[in-house]
Amino acid sequence: MPQVLSTMSGELDQSLVTAVQVLRAGGLVAFPTETVYGLGADARQEQAVRKIFAAKHRPATHPVIVHLPSAEQLDEWSVDVSDAARRVAAACWPGPVTMVLRAANHVSPIVTGGSNTVGLRVPGHSVALVLLRQFGGAIAAPSANRFTRVSPTTAAHVVEDLGEAVDVVLDAGSTPVGIESTIVDFAQNPPVLLRTGAISAEQLTDVAGVFITMANVGQTASPGQHPVHYSPATKVVACRAERLADCVDYYRRQKERLVVLAWQSELERYSNVVWWQWPSDLEQVGRDLYARLRLIDSQLFDLAIVELPATTGLGAALADRLRRAAGSTEFEG
Ligand code: TXA
Ligand code: MG
C-alpha cells in the first residue's frame, strides 16, 4: 500500500517534508487539486515522469499537464505566450484552467507526448500550492486514475486505482470542483477549447478578450480525450431530458437492475429501477459526479441511464463527462 498522509493542520508539515523528499528522489506523489487528484512527478526528471505512464497504464503519446507554483514560471516552461494567454493566467490562476502553449526547449518529450506544446496550470488548492512551493519546481501530473477510469476525487479512489504504483498520497478529503480543468489551446490562433470544465468557454472568451472556438470539443482533439474516457465498467446510456421516460421504460423491460441518475424526480416506480436524483445546484453535482459513477460499479447494476443537462455554463462540462461515461451512446429508441 502507498503511504496515505494526512494534511490536517498538525500533520501537514511532516507530510509535505515526506512528499517533497519522494518527488526529489524521482518517486510518485498523488496530491489533491481543486479539480481531481493528480499523480505527480518532478517535471524535470524523465525517469520519474515515465513512472506516471507505467502506473496509469497510459499510452506514451498522451501529454501530461505541468503544474506550476505560480504564473511567474509561465515563461520558464513556454514560449510565444500571447497577451490573451497572459490575461487568462492573470485572471484564472490559481484555478481550474489549463493552457496549452508552445513548449520551452528544455521540456521533455515524455511530458509533451512528443509534441511541441505543453499544458500548464497553477492549481487552486491550498495543499497543491504549498506542495509546489516547498518542492520549488514544477510537477507533471495527470489525473491519478488508471487509464480510461473515472478521475479520483478522494484519496481512497487513488489507492483503489493505483495501489502500490504510487509512493505517497496526500489526503485532503474530497476535491471541491470534482471534474477536470478546462483546457484551452493557445498554441493555435484563434485559441481552441480542448476540454470543457468548471470555467466555461464564454467566461474564458471574456477574460482572454479573443474568441475561443469550441470546434474541437467532443472530437479527439487532445490525446486522451477519446470518447470512452471517464467510463465506469457498467454499461451507461446517456439520454436527453425529454426522452428519459421512454428510455427508462425501454430498459426496465430488458435489464434486471438498473439505476437512473437524473435531475427529474422519479417518474414512475418500477421494482428493478433505482433512482438517484441530482440536486439542482450544478456545482454540487460536479463535486459528486465521479464518486457516483464509481458507485454504479460497486453496486453491481446491469445498466445506468444518465440524464443530460442543458449545456450552458457548468452544464456543458457535466454533459461532456456524462456522454463520455456513456461511451458516447445516447438513447435514440
Ligand atoms: O484538472 C486537471 O486538469 C487534472 C489535475 C490533476 O490537474 N489533470 C488532468 O490531467 O485531468 P489528465 O492528464 O488526466 O488530462 C489532461 C488532458 C489529457 O487529455 C492530455 O492529453 C491533455 O490534457 N493535454 C496535456 N498536455 C497537452 C498538450 N500539450 N496538448 C494537447 N493536450 C494536452
Ligand atoms: Mg485523466
Measured from the Cβ of residue 193, the count of other Cβ atoms closer than 10 Å reads 23
Tell whether ligand 1 has an atom less than 6 A from the beta carbon of residue 140. no
Tell whether ligand 1 has an atom less than 6 A from the beta carbon of residue 152. no
pLDDT recorded at residue 34: 98
pLDDT recorded at residue 227: 52
pLDDT recorded at residue 220: 47
CA 62 to ligand 1: nearest atom: 21
Q: Give me ligand 2 centre to Cα 12, in Å.
A: 26
Mutate to test the pocket of ligand 1, among 64, 148, 220 (most ligand atoms within 8 A of CB): 64
Mutate to test the pocket of ligand 1, among 57, 64, 65 (most ligand atoms within 8 A of CB): 65
pLDDT recorded at residue 320: 94
pLDDT recorded at residue 60: 87
C-alpha cell at 296: 454504479
Name the stretches of the chain with pLDDT < 70.
215-230, 328
Are 252 and 259 spatial neighbours (Cβ–Cβ below 8 Å)? no
pLDDT recorded at residue 211: 93
pLDDT recorded at residue 216: 54
Tell whether ligand 1 has an atom less than 6 A from the beta carbon of residue 175. no
Tell whether ligand 1 has an atom less than 6 A from the beta carbon of residue 118. yes
User: Where does residue 66 rank: exposed (0-12), middle (13-18), buried (19+ CB within 10 A)?
Assistant: buried
C-alpha cell at 274: 433505482
